[in-house]
Structure 1
């Protein structure tokens, strides 16, 4: 399954009607806020949502950004991983 980078999002499937997506918004010069994660029920339980969170955290690391995880799922994933926890603002 290919994860595609869009405008302030990563997604799987069609850009207009993705099967799964995670969106984020700029929240200052060095910060982004993850505000939404969605996975189509047919893909749930396969680690797709976590893969999307990891894609955003890789993006943040590559761009020296901190993350405000407004999305509750993203917050849980990040708080459970010591490495990802360091990205939380």
Structure 2
């Protein structure tokens, strides 16, 4: 079954619901042109299925499509971006 990541801009999050369980990637928009991924949570029943990675891909694709620079306050997102060099150009420079 393909995974469907939903963007909920009103709640500033990307979400997945599957078999009554959920996962989310929350973000904030601290300044113009910047998105800060602040928190990733995957319910225990959904862990180990790559759902966190799919949330990360969706969030980073959104950032790229909207020409946003990325902050990774969330440690999961920081690790994901560090392991995927093709996203390095999105990182906000200090």
Candidates 53, 56, 67, aligned match of 2:56: 53
TM-score by length of 1: 0.90
**Structure 2 gap segments, 5+ residues each:** none
Q: Aligned residue for 1:5?
A: 7
Candidates 71, 89, 92, aligned match of 1:68: 71
Q: Which runs of 4+ in 1 moved over 4 A?
A: none
**Structure 1 gap segments, 5+ residues each:** none
Change (3 A) 1:56 1:11: same
Shift of 1:18: 6.1
**8 A contact 1:11–1:18 mirrored in 2:** no
2:36 & 2:21 partners in 1: Cα distance?
Answer: 20
Shift of 1:12: 1.1
Report how many aligned residue pairs link the two structures. Answer: 87
Q: CA RMSD in A?
A: 1.6
Higher Rg: 2
TM-score by length of 2: 0.86
